[in-house]
Structure 1
Amino acid sequence: MSPAPRQGPTDADLLALVRAAADAVDPVPEGVLAAARASLTWLDVDAELARLVEDSALTGAVGVRSGGGPRLLTFEGGQGDVVLVEVEERPGDRRRLTGQLVPGRPVDVEVRRTSGSSTVRADELGRFALDDVEAGPLSLACRLEEGRGALVTPWTSV
């Protein structure tokens, strides 16, 4: 005797119903979608990805975060390049970003955000600053000398 034919919805049908219910009840926030799209938009095959080696918000290096002190981030590249970044919170959703590339040299630093990017020039000591940076995810791309491409930091929320 053969088994009775299966009746009712398939697994794919049930999965589609669950997905539709989840989208209706708890949709993915637009900011998360924008950050995901931005992370793919900025891929650069010639860039070296720096790694975050220190974050004062996690290590407590600056003390207990009360929202008033600067946040210090240190990124390190594989060839000894280091990007030191200080993020100073301002009233509202704006930040002042100052940083330095070590060893110091004049390079273009692209500050990439989900809403777009800005480029600033680091001075001969590798120092750079950008005012009025909106809160949210950002990544830095430091354009190094010819033949070395760029040193790019991972996306970090500030």
Structure 2
Amino acid sequence: MDDDNVLLNRLHDMFSAHDAPPATVIGLAQGLYGLRHLDAELAALTSDSAVDAPEVAVRRSGTDVRLLTFESAELAIEIEVSGTGRIRRVVGQLVPGGPATLEARQPSAPQPRHAEADDRGRFEFESLAPEPLSLTWRRPGSRPVTTEWTGLA
């Protein structure tokens, strides 16, 4: 092991023992690292049923459902988040519709998960953790579009 790695390991051990950052900070830093697509357009959160109308609960078979809309200059993505406990399900649709490849990133996942949108732009991710999520979708001939990080808790 070279001198730089020895020094870095010692610094890591020292700061981990005496001044460790909160787990949420580590998770957000890992999430930001996952946003390495510098050419991707950012889709901002424009509607969240948990904020816009918290008194109106959307319910399906005993489970609260959260509706989110993200918009960029040319595309929008509408998702429905459902589930309780340690599992979340995301069902969504791209507007305008059409086939696309989607990628879901979460801080605790070592690799992004992938899904394909059908001809109408519909897609689904099962068994997501109740933690921050960022989606990236790609269509042939277009720049990738990435959502801002949004908590699923």
What TM-score results when the alignment is normalised by the length of structure 1? 0.75
Asked if 1:111 is matched to 2:104, the reply is: yes
Query: Which of 137, 142, 145 in structure 2 is aligned with 1:151?
Result: 145
Q: Is contact 2:63-2:83 (8 Å) kept?
A: yes
Query: Which of 76, 81, 86 in structure 2 is aligned with 1:82?
Result: 76
Asked if 1:38 is matched to 2:38, the reply is: no
Q: After the TM superposition, which residues 51-70 of structure 1 pair with which residues of structure 2 at under 5 Å, given as runs?
A: 51-60=44-53, 63-64=56-57, 68-70=63-65
Query: Which of 133, 137, 144 in structure 2 is aligned with 1:142?
Result: 137
Q: How much has 1:65 moved relative to structure 2?
A: 7.9
Provide the secondary structure at the position in 2 that maps to 1:137. coil
Q: 1:75-134 CA distances to partner (integer Å, 9 max, x unpaired)?
A: 00112x1100100023x2110110000110110010111123100000000000111111
Aligned equivalents of 2:39 and 2:55: distance in 1? 35
Between the two proteins, what is the percent identity of the paired residues? 35
Q: Is contact 1:144-1:151 (8 Å) kept?
A: no
Q: How much has 1:39 moved relative to structure 2?
A: 1.1
Aligned equivalents of 1:36 and 1:65: distance in 2? 32
Q: What is the letter of the counterpart of residue 35 of structure 1?
A: L
Q: How much has 1:35 moved relative to structure 2?
A: 1.9
What TM-score results when the alignment is normalised by the length of structure 2? 0.77
Provide the secondary structure at the position in 2 that maps to 1:124. coil
Unaligned runs of 5+ in 1: 1-19
Number of equivalenced pairs? 132
Tell me which structure has the larger Cα radius of gyration: 1
Unaligned runs of 5+ in 2: 1-14
